[in-house]
């Protein structure tokens, strides 16, 4: 095999593929990237047996062939090469790969492509979603997904395929994030599917510039492609909880505040929260929101944020980490905090955007000092 690449084209592909190629594995081949040239097409692939990515890379094919090499080692070499000079990649005897660029020549040991796992292909009707829309719903929700292995069915994003819209939801039991977009016309009889968290994060990187992404579902597999890159993954098996049941249909109070002001105050006050539970308190009334924390071993802090508009009053506690993350994923200038009692679920919503909801379960606060 003999190929010529522009440095940036090859590097961009390798940086995406390194997220999947696992460094620690009982199968050395899974640490490698497969490079295959057929006709005028060059493809690079990586997989960890759960998530697989195949990418087309621009380059010149002088001789067809295939080889696998260490994704990390090849990526490290290419990263250090000059961007203004072409890279020649040639396979030699005994699965050796020779990389030449300018005056430099680098030789690394590869493995035969026959040992590389085959990536699944899914045929049939595909659903279509805008690339920007896909990245947006993922960015707004993935932070709330669980990373605990006990409730494995929460380790991903649930795509609920409703007739009038598609809802994308993540929850870990303490918080929930829900975004929705235009309906996806599913060729599956299932009402939705759970995409694992690792695949979700790779989707954003793989399709960072995609204008349109095709989605195909078949049994326990899902495939995303924009024509140049393809990502396949196993779906998370299990029934997703009935998340709509914990979202209150109405609340007793609502306050609208500046997103930047409440976020900055929460971050600063959290510095003096108890490191055992990161508890901070929001005292909300129609005029202001006071954010406070008190830890006997550290000290105390409080800040006051003016309210744009508001009804109702409540004193409510949060895990500062969950609150800050929820506020960070709001993109509008103002946000609303909707509440009922001190232990009822709290909704945080962007103002003038009905397509996103973030929910946090409050913490029980200690009685205020006399």
Q: Which structural domains are found in the chain, ordered by start?
A: 2-115 (3.10.150.10), 127-244 (3.10.150.10), 247-360 (3.70.10.10)
d(CA 305, CA 258): 8
- The CA distance from 51 to 335, in Å, is 36
- Taking the mean position of all CA atoms in its chain, how far away is CA 306? 33
User: Residues 6-63: pLDDT tens digits?
Assistant: 999 999 999 999 989 876 667 889 999 999 999 999 999 999 988 999 999 999 999 9
Residues in the chain: 370
Do 30 and 36 contact (CB within 8 A), yes or no? no
Closest CA to 69 of 90, 96, 88, 43: 96
In angstroms, the Cα distances linking 193 to 167, 204, 297, 345 are 11, 18, 47, 26
The SS3 of residue 80 is helix
CB hemisphere CA count around 190 (13 angstroms)? 19
List C-alpha distances in Å: 82 to 62, 73, 106, 250: 22, 17, 14, 59
- What are 37-42's contacts with CB under 8 Å, separation 24+? 37/1, 37/3, 37/61, 37/63, 37/64, 37/65, 37/66, 38/64, 39/64, 42/3, 42/5
Q: What angle do CA 231, 136, 349 make, to 5 degrees?
A: 145
What's residue 370's pLDDT?
A: 42
Give burial (CB, 10 Å; 0-12/13-18/19+) of 190.
exposed
Intervals of the chain under pLDDT 70: 23-25, 122-124, 186-190, 367-370
Q: Which of 160, 227, 153, 229 is nearest to 193 (CA)?
A: 160
- Distance between CA atoms of residues 78 and 75, nearest Å: 5
């Amino acid at each position: 095999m003999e190929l010529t690449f522009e440095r940036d084209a090859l590097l961009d592909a390798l940086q995406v593929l390194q997220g999947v190629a696992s460094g620690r594995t009982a199968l050395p081949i899974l640490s490698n990237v497969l490079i295959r040239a057929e006709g005028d097409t060059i493809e690079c692939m990586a997989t960890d047996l759960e998530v697989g990515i195949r990418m087309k890379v621009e380059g010149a094919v002088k001789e067809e062939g295939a080889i696998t090499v260490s994704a990390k080692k090849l990526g490290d070499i290419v990263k250090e090469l000059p961007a203004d000079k072409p890279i020649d990649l040639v396979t030699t005897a005994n699965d050796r790969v020779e990389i030449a660029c300018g005056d430099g020549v680098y030789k690394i040991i590869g493995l035969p492509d026959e040992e590389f796992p085959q990536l699944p292909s899914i045929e049939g009707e595909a659903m279509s979603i805008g690339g920007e829309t896909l990245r947006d719903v993922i960015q707004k929700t993935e932070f709330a997904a669980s990373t605990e292995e006990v409730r494995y069915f929460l380790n991903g994003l649930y795509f609920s395929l409703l007739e009038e819209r598609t809802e994308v939801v993540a929850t870990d039991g303490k918080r929930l994030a829900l975004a929705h977009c235009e309906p996806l016309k599913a060729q599956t009889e299932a009402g939705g599917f759970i995409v694992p968290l690792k695949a979700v994060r790779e989707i954003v990187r793989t399709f960072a510039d995609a204008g349109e992404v095709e989605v195909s579902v078949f049994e326990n597999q899902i495939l995303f492609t924009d024509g140049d890159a393809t990502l396949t993954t196993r779906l998370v098996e299990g029934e997703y909880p009935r998340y709509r049941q914990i979202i209150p249909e109405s609340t007793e109070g609502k306050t609208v505040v500046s997103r930047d002001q409440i976020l900055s105050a929460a971050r600063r006050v959290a510095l003096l929260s108890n490191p055992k539970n990161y508890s901070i308190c929001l005292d909300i009334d129609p005029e202001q929101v006071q954010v406070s924390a008190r830890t006997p071993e550290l000290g105390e802090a409080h800040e006051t944020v003016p309210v744009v508009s508001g009804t109702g009053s409540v004193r409510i506690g949060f895990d500062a980490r969950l609150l800050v993350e929820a506020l960070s994923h709001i993109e509008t200038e103002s946000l609303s905090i909707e509440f009922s009692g001190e232990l009822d679920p709290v909704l945080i919503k962007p103002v003038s955007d009905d397509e996103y909801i973030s929910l946090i379960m409050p913490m029980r606060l200690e009685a205020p000092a006399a």
